[in-house]
Amino acid sequence: METDTTLLSSPIPRAGRREWIGLAVLTLPTLLVSMDATVTYLAIPSLSASLKPTGSQLLWITDIFTFMEGGFLIIMGVLGDRIGRKRLLTIGFVLFSLASVMAAFAGSAIWLIAARAVLGITGAIILPCTLSLIRSMFRDDRERTIAFGIYTACYAGGTMLGPLLGGILLTHFWWGSVFLISVPLMCLFLFASGLLTEYRDVDARQFSLTSAVLLLTGMLSATGGIKHIAESGAFQWRALLSIAAGVVLFSVFVRIQKTIRNPLVNLHLFSIPAFGATLATLFLSLFCWSGLYLFIAQYLQLVRGLAPMQAGLLTLLPAAITMAGCMFAPQMLRWISRTVTIIIGNIIMLTGMLMLTQLETDTHLFLLIAACTCLSLGCGFIVTLGIDLIVSVAPPEQAGAVSGISESSTTFGSALGVALLGSIGTAIYHSHMAAAKTSGISVITEDARNTLGGALAASQQLPAEAGAALLVQARAAFLVSFHSAALIGSIAIVMMVLVFSIAARK
């Protein structure tokens, strides 16, 4: 009897050198996916001039990656449990690199959108496999929290360093070069992947492909309708029908999850107040971060006239502070709770967004750097401890399902942030540019009305005085759209803090 008590009370094994080195190896695919999500931002002006996408196509180029990724995250996580997480991660990394080459040499906007869609699907293989491997490698609660901090720091660093590397490449090469970063990272990962241990769930259950299709098509249908409204500036019946179809598909998806034996999403978890509130906080933080960084990249190049390299260099300080903050966040739990730390992260993000509403064409760039730092640092706090909190409140036997749900929440938040805030910004810009004729500008092309990049290109084809007037009008319209998006995000964050505070007390 004494022996049984000793066995039951034996400590959870702590991670050794192999696990920590394995975590370092897993940073390679993490960096790759995160960099690819933002590396296109600085390439928007040059690829717009080369491929001449419409306003809607331009939004699809930037956000179809995260939409496809989010749609396949859960199903790929379950697939990794069945065939082996390390094996699927390796397959996904190789396919991701091949799709990157496809994007680099795209000859049209449609071809680039297709390549980005493939990148999203393969990215959906990488993220859940990486996170589930970390969960399997680190069993001690404190070590797992620290590992999550490092994981989040690498992801945040990748999203911030993506524009920097993109700026360096765009200074010397064509826009497609930003997609080729994955090739050397893939080679390095394949060389070091032998340090990873394979994990497989021998009792893994089947998953519903029908549910995955409903989730993906519902998202794309609803967002496609929103994009069409933003581009046309009118509520056309086809766009409204597309949105309605998306809502119906989501309703069917939820109903199926309640009835099938092996749902993709366990809806019972949402009965835990802290679980649902934390997921909503994760969703909203990435919604605001991703959507606003789309505006920031264009502001630096098209409003302030910075070269891609200069714009990329401005991300260095925010990236360094954010990575340090993500790694420091687990240490804050020694003094304050996860709930309070997450609320602090929301307040820091709110501060950054309010700073963004004060930007003008001649504002000192220090304000933008400070805003970017607050925006990214607050988001890093939320994601690091939000994932940790979700794991804590969910039943231990559902840890794998929670991993897929948490990743889907952040991914869809990022995707919808680009789509909705980007669409709202496009609509506001379009509406202001439609009134440009009354401001003494007689010739405005459709490209100039759709995007600021199109206006910049059009201004170069006009006489000096007319071109300068067009740029003033376009930049003013862009700033109105930028400020509006930041204000919408600020209001949403304030509401989220109130909801999260109430839910955390239950």
Output the pLDDT for position 1.
Answer: 38
pLDDT at 376 over 80: yes
Q: Which of 67, 281, 33 is nearest to 154 (CA)?
A: 33
Which range, 5-14, 136-145, 335-344, is most confident? Answer: 335-344
* Side chain identity, residue 75: I
Output the pLDDT for position 11.
Answer: 61
**Greater pLDDT, 483 or 416:** 483
Output the pLDDT for position 248.
Answer: 92
Output the pLDDT for position 305.
Answer: 78
Residues 6+ apart with CB under 8 A from 95: 118, 122, 125
Both tokens assigned to 501? 């505070």
Output the pLDDT for position 386.
Answer: 84
Question: What does the CA dihedral 388, 393, 399, 405 come to, rounded to 10 degrees?
Answer: -80
* Burial class of residue 437, CB neighbours in 10 A (0-12, 13-18, 19+): exposed
Distance of alpha carbon 117 from its chain centroid, rounded?
14
pLDDT digits (tens, 9 = 90+) for 314-339: 777 777 787 788 788 888 877 888 88
Is residue 429 a contact partner of residue 477, using CB atoms and an 8 Å limit? Answer: yes
Output the pLDDT for position 488.
Answer: 92
- Report the distance separating Cα 73 and Cα 244, nearest Å: 24
**Greater pLDDT, 491 or 465:** 491
Is residue 251 a contact partner of residue 222, using CB atoms and an 8 Å limit? Answer: no
Both tokens assigned to 256? 């199926």
In terms of residues, how long is the chain? 506
Q: In whole numbers, what is the pLDDT of the chain averaged over residues?
A: 77
* Eight-state DSSP code of residue 461: T
pLDDT at 442 over 80: no
**Greater pLDDT, 487 or 186:** 487
Q: What is the mean pLDDT of residues 467-475?
A: 77
Output the pLDDT for position 229.
Answer: 60
- Report the distance separating Cα 99 and Cα 116, nearest Å: 8
- Report the distance separating Cα 42 and Cα 58, nearest Å: 13
Greatest Cα pair distance, the chain, in angstroms, is 93
pLDDT at 4 over 80: no
Output the pLDDT for position 42.
Answer: 67
Is residue 204 a contact partner of residue 85, using CB atoms and an 8 Å limit? Answer: no
- Report the distance separating Cα 420 and Cα 404, nearest Å: 23
Output the pLDDT for position 487.
Answer: 92
Which range, 80-89, 101-110, 217-226, 448-457, is most confident? Answer: 101-110
pLDDT digits (tens, 9 = 90+) for 60-110: 787 677 677 766 777 787 777 777 778 888 888 888 888 888 888 887 888
* Side chain identity, residue 33: V
Residues 6+ apart with CB under 8 A from 491: none
Q: How many beta carbons lie within 10 A of that of residue 168, not counting itself?
A: 17
* pTM of the shown model: 0.74
Output the pLDDT for position 349.
Answer: 92
What pLDDT band is residue 491 in, cutting at 50, 70 and 90? very high
Residue 159's SS3 state is helix
pLDDT digits (tens, 9 = 90+) for 26-63: 888 887 777 776 677 667 777 777 777 776 677 778 76
pLDDT at 202 over 70: no
pLDDT at 133 over 50: yes
